[in-house]
Structure 1
Amino acid sequence: MKKERQGFGLWVLAWPIFIEVFLQTLLGTVDTLMVSRISDDAVAVVGISNQLFGALTTLFTTFAGGAGILIAQRMGSKRFSEARTIAIMGVSVSLILGIVVSIILFFYAGPIAGILNISPELLSLSNIYISYVGGGLFLVGMIASLGTAIRNTGNTRGPMYTGVIINVIHIILNYTFIFGMFGLPQLGLAGIAISSIISRLVGVIMLYTMFRGSFEIKIRLRDFRIFNGKLFKEIIRIAWPLGINSSCWVFSQLIVYSFLAALGAEALAARTYLNTLESFCFTLGYAIALAGQIQIAHLFGAGKLKEAYRSAYRTLYIGLAIVSANMLLLFLFGRNLLGYFTSDPRIIAIGISLLALNLLLQPCKMLNMGMGNALNAIGDTRYTMYTSIVSMSIIGVGCSYWFGISLGWGLTGIYCCMIADEFVRGMLVLMRWRGRKVIRQADIGLSEGNASLHGAGKRSTSLTI
């Protein structure tokens, strides 16, 4: 029991997630730095394309995310066989959806670039990047689904080690293919695509090896034919609102990026550079929120409802303190950091103008993520979905267009709307958590179950006498 409690402790779960996500962020930063040596136009293409990839990735990782919550709950309630079955189905469905998305991106890069409002002078670069990086996007789905399943068994170190190796391979291959080292031709953005596919393939192989041994009964290839209709419906019940929630956020960001594209390549590049710096500042907060979700799901599955309720607030307070401190550092040193990415004074000026707004944006994002993940952990995914649909469509997208484009406030107006959206959703999920609706229902269910068992025990004793 002591070993189990330690395995699902907040910091035990969080620090490997932090290192893993930090390395992923570092990988994105290295990509951005290397691409910036090609041109700022190439950076703009990478920025908007990665928003598209993020949006599409949620479509085939959502099922794995819902499965991950149920895995942690089943581990908490000692139903290990069901946890294993859920994990297998989560990976299988994510793989199928990932392959479909990758095929579409590979063959329809041109029309997709048109939908994103990518300017004509950037089309040749975007076709290369969307076709080849997007064509291998199913590997990202496999990494996400395998990593999610492994993490929710309490093993957050395995995905972390994999992340280290992926990053090392990717950075070395990036340098080799982009700049034509060791006698190879200079491939530019195509080099990043090749590097991404190779490093991600290595990651899939490593995670799959860990995944096979994550449960008491080893997982074999023939086990991927397993299908349990009852468990599948339970995954769907949690996953579809979770998917719409995630998709709403990512697609709203994609639409906002299309607004930025309409403002010009300079605004788009400035947002891409600043987003890279923001990601570093938010990484530990994100790790705390994700670790909190795993811990709360485990406690909820174990019937420790009071501990689960308190755990959400502890996660939130720690996350807010960390994110606020990091954003203050970015505010103080942001001008110098932007200089590492570009020498264009207009792009730097745009980025600097947004640094103060980030002091509000990131804590609001932590509030929304921390309490939203807590609700997701106990299966209350429909509420977070409803708040996302309403707030993102009206404030995140509608107001961004109104203030940023129609009224001419530009990037500053869009950022203010992003802050308002995160704050509104954060307050709504906080009020929902304080209402304890799902926890009260679970408490009643546990009480009725205990009463039923107690009554059965009495009848058994009476019959024995």
Structure 2
Amino acid sequence: MKKKTAKLSLFAITWPLFIEIMLYMLMGNADTLMLSLYSDNSVAAVGVTNQILSMVIVMFGFIATGTAILVAQNLGANQHKEAHEISAVSIGANLVFGLILSAAVFVFSEQLLNLMDLPPELFDEANSYLKIVGGFSFIQSLIMTISSIVRSYGFTSDIMYITIGMNVLNVIGNYFFIFGTFGFPVLGVEGVAISTTVSRIVGLLAAIYVMKKRIPGSMPLSLLFRFPKKHLQNLLHIGIPSAGENLSYNGSQMMITYFIATLGTQALTAKVYTQNIMMFIFLFSIAISQGTQILIGHMVGANEVELAYKRAMNSLKLAIMISIASAVTASFFSKKLLGIFTDNPSIIELGTILFLLTIILEPGRSFNLVLISSLRAAGDVKFPVYIGILIMWGVSVPLSYFLGIYLEMGLVGIWIAFIADEWLRGLLMLWRWKSRLWMRKSFVAAK
């Protein structure tokens, strides 16, 4: 297995990741596009609710991220027994955590939505969606964990195929519940929530099958709920700081979404439509960053730190070039792209301006995506968190309020704040990587 994973190139690992992430984004866009034919208010309701659910996913991510890094490093160091044990512990830990968090979201869904200052006309639909999808979000925690394990072994294409199947099921379910095909009840947002949950359940079953088929040797199932101190500490040591950066980002985004909600439903809808399309612009950078993380994890585990340094820099250059080209192309076709979702001229006009600003925004985002993933894979997990908290809450949130609300620049002002946030953090991550301080961090092969 070491030979097989070691010889994987960035392209071999990344292209299935690219397809997988694109399909996840398509799943969200399928919900948005189909609901846009049903009601713009439904789109806004799901958009705000997904902001809360993103926070939940980030909470699950701290174990999944730690799993991906530790399994990759152990495989690079040819320590397969350790990799198996870490995999078993991570699955059990995220299942328990997922059940607790899912129950909390279900019980306190109304209170969570009240924190977002949601317009009254959106509340009922948003609450219904949050209770269903949030209440079953533990399914996603297991999918994330198992997917991280399988990817670390180099089988990224298997997870891609599972995602394809989930997307197909989700779209079919949406069609039935939104348009009442074959006698299905027209349930709107509630139907989309049911469709999303069912597709995830099927995806989980497929992921379990792939894990059992692909990973050599037997996984110690006795460790699923025993949580040995050594492995759990290592997972949390890497995972909690890693998730901290994402948690800070999503928390700041929730606060900014609160600002946008005060601008009205039209502003919220414009944000949802624009960001749904923007996701496809930084899709390339996300795939490259995840593929790079897997490779650097193996390299660090094998003590090939200079090779890891060059890999990250080359990945960064590639991500920047692709993100600029994608942003320019999307901006050129912005009116047509927005026209897929809405015929509201005000939303289209505002979205067109936001796409122009995205040309400046996306290269900065590439720095963060690629270099933060590289630092995590090398074991330098705390620096991105400290800088993230400082810049997001010290620059992004207050600048969003100052430009967007106080100076009444609306979404344009908020997008300018996003640009300042991404570029400042990104340049600091570049300094950290070039300083090579991460090379002094402990990793599996040195233990």
TM-score normalized by the length of structure 1: 0.93
Aligned to 2:23: 23
Report deviation, 1:408.
1.2
Aligned to 1:454: none
1:12-51 → structure 2 map (5 Å cutoff): 12-51=12-51
3-state SS in 1 of match to 2:126: helix
Residues 79 and 261 of structure 1: CA distance in aligned 2, closer, same or farther (over 3 Å) = same
Residues 70 and 391 of structure 1: CA distance in aligned 2, closer, same or farther (over 3 Å) = same
Aligned to 1:411: 411
Instruction: Answer yes or no: is the 8 Å Cα contact 1:10–1:292 preserved in 2.
Output: yes
Report deviation, 1:229.
1.4
Instruction: Answer yes or no: is the 8 Å Cα contact 2:88–2:221 preserved in 1.
Output: no
Report deviation, 1:100.
1.4
Instruction: Answer yes or no: is the 8 Å Cα contact 1:60–1:93 preserved in 2.
Output: no
1:208-219 → structure 2 map (5 Å cutoff): 208-219=208-219
3-state SS in 2 of match to 1:340: helix
Identity of aligned residues (%): 34
Aligned to 2:7: 6
Aligned to 2:283: 283
Amino acid in the other structure paired with 2:7: Q
1:401-454 CA distance string (max 9 Å, x none): 1211122111111111111011111011110111101214669x97xx9xxxxx
Aligned to 2:135: 135
Aligned to 2:319: 319
3-state SS in 1 of match to 2:331: helix
Q: Does 1:86 align with 2:119?
A: no
When structure 1 is superposed on structure 2, of 234-243 and 385-394 the one drifting more is 234-243
Aligned to 1:363: 363
- 4+ long deviations beyond 6 Å: none
CA distance in structure 2 between the partners assigned to 1:289 and 1:67 by the alignment = 16
CA distance in structure 2 between the partners assigned to 1:62 and 1:393 by the alignment = 20
1:352-408 CA distance string (max 9 Å, x none): 111110001111100111111111111101000100010000111111112111221
CA distance in structure 2 between the partners assigned to 1:180 and 1:136 by the alignment = 24
CA distance in structure 2 between the partners assigned to 1:441 and 1:381 by the alignment = 9
Report deviation, 1:58.
0.8
Instruction: Answer yes or no: is the 8 Å Cα contact 2:6–2:298 preserved in 1.
Output: no
Report deviation, 1:219.
2.9
Instruction: Answer yes or no: is the 8 Å Cα contact 2:242–2:385 preserved in 1.
Output: yes
1:42-441 → structure 2 map (5 Å cutoff): 42-219=42-219, 221-440=221-440
Report deviation, 1:225.
3.3
Instruction: Answer yes or no: is the 8 Å Cα contact 2:285–2:369 preserved in 1.
Output: no
3-state SS in 1 of match to 2:340: coil
TM-score normalized by the length of structure 2: 0.96
CA distance in structure 1 between the partners assigned to 2:441 and 2:109 by the alignment = 48
CA distance in structure 2 between the partners assigned to 1:50 and 1:216 by the alignment = 37
3-state SS in 2 of match to 1:140: helix
CA distance in structure 2 between the partners assigned to 1:23 and 1:179 by the alignment = 22
CA distance in structure 2 between the partners assigned to 1:4 and 1:353 by the alignment = 44
3-state SS in 2 of match to 1:371: helix
CA distance in structure 2 between the partners assigned to 1:387 and 1:440 by the alignment = 19
Number of residue-to-residue matches in the alignment: 445
Instruction: Answer yes or no: is the 8 Å Cα contact 2:95–2:142 preserved in 1.
Output: yes
CA distance in structure 1 between the partners assigned to 2:24 and 2:259 by the alignment = 26
Mark the runs of 5 or more structure 1 residues left unpaired by the alignment. Answer: 450-465
1:89-117 CA distance string (max 9 Å, x none): 12221111111121122222222111111
Report deviation, 1:278.
0.6
Amino acid in the other structure paired with 1:418: F
Report deviation, 1:2.
5.4
Amino acid in the other structure paired with 2:376: N
1:242-267 CA distance string (max 9 Å, x none): 12111001111111111111111111
Report deviation, 1:223.
4.4
Amino acid in the other structure paired with 1:115: L
Residues 441 and 119 of structure 1: CA distance in aligned 2, closer, same or farther (over 3 Å) = closer
CA distance in structure 1 between the partners assigned to 2:321 and 2:351 by the alignment = 24
| Aligned alpha-carbon RMSD (Å) | 1.6
3-state SS in 2 of match to 1:417: helix
CA distance in structure 1 between the partners assigned to 2:429 and 2:282 by the alignment = 20
Residues 224 and 96 of structure 1: CA distance in aligned 2, closer, same or farther (over 3 Å) = same
Mark the runs of 5 or more structure 2 residues left unpaired by the alignment. Answer: none
1:4-29 CA distance string (max 9 Å, x none): 3333x211110000000011111111
Amino acid in the other structure paired with 2:232: F
Task: Say which one has the larger Rg.
Answer: 1
Instruction: Answer yes or no: is the 8 Å Cα contact 1:320–1:367 preserved in 2.
Output: yes
Amino acid in the other structure paired with 1:281: I
Report deviation, 1:220.
6.5
Instruction: Answer yes or no: is the 8 Å Cα contact 2:6–2:76 preserved in 1.
Output: no
Amino acid in the other structure paired with 2:332: L
Instruction: Answer yes or no: is the 8 Å Cα contact 2:93–2:224 preserved in 1.
Output: no
Amino acid in the other structure paired with 1:108: F
3-state SS in 1 of match to 2:219: coil
CA distance in structure 1 between the partners assigned to 2:349 and 2:441 by the alignment = 53
Report deviation, 1:307.
0.5
Amino acid in the other structure paired with 2:172: I
3-state SS in 2 of match to 1:429: helix
3-state SS in 2 of match to 1:129: helix
Report deviation, 1:61.
2.1
CA distance in structure 2 between the partners assigned to 1:48 and 1:336 by the alignment = 24
CA distance in structure 1 between the partners assigned to 2:148 and 2:379 by the alignment = 16
